Amino acid sequence: MALKYLHTMVRVKDLEKSMAFYELLGLRETSRKESEGGRFTLVFMAPPGQEECPVELTWNWDGDDGLPSDSRHFGHLAYRVDDIYETCRHLQENGVTINRPPRDGHMAFVRSPDNISIELLQAGDALAPQEPWASMENTGHW
């Protein structure tokens, strides 16, 4: 079961101030995604020469009343997997709850025993929808 670290996500209240802080640490913007429909911006920042180890700054355009509470800042760890269905099957068979099943063949979320949210992303293109995942409901939150 191959696994590759992708990023750590943190929520930010003020994108520009947060970016300035990470720039002071030596990180630089490596990519950005704007989502009009989701009303958020994702900015990936990493140290020069370590672009494969970014932090994802997630800024919600409409604000986030939970910030700056420490419990709202940390979002999730993200890992790319070779086969999201096989990975979820393996986790489920070992007692892990699949909080957000990979209905789309691309993304799933699970939680660690310490309640840390883990995002699993399919390497390459999304796999074709497959049961039992395609019709599985969410369990809890992620």
pLDDT, one tens digit per residue, over 116-133 is 788 999 999 999 999 999
pLDDT at 71: 67
Quick one: 55 and 87 in the same domain?
Answer: no
How far apart are alpha carbons 76 and 109 in whole angstroms? Answer: 9
Prior bond to 68 cis, omega within 30?
Answer: yes
Quick one: 17 and 52 in the same domain?
Answer: yes
User: Which range marks the domain in which residue 86 is found?
Assistant: 77-122
- CATH assignment of the domain containing 36: 3.10.180.10
| Selected catalytic residue, list 16, 119, 131, 137 | 119
Residue 129 lies in a domain: no
pLDDT at 66: 79
pLDDT at 64: 84
Residue 133 lies in a domain: no
- CATH assignment of the domain containing 112: 3.30.720.110
How far apart are alpha carbons 127 and 20 in whole angstroms? Answer: 38
Ranges under pLDDT 70 in the chain: 70-72, 114
pLDDT at 82: 93
Quick one: 56 and 83 in the same domain?
Answer: no
pLDDT at 72: 67
Look at residue 110 and give its three-state secondary structure.
Answer: strand
How far apart are alpha carbons 108 and 98 in whole angstroms? Answer: 7
Quick one: 12 and 53 in the same domain?
Answer: yes
Asked about 51 being catalytic, the answer comes back as no
How far apart are alpha carbons 8 and 17 in whole angstroms? Answer: 19
Predicted TM-score of the model (pTM): 0.72
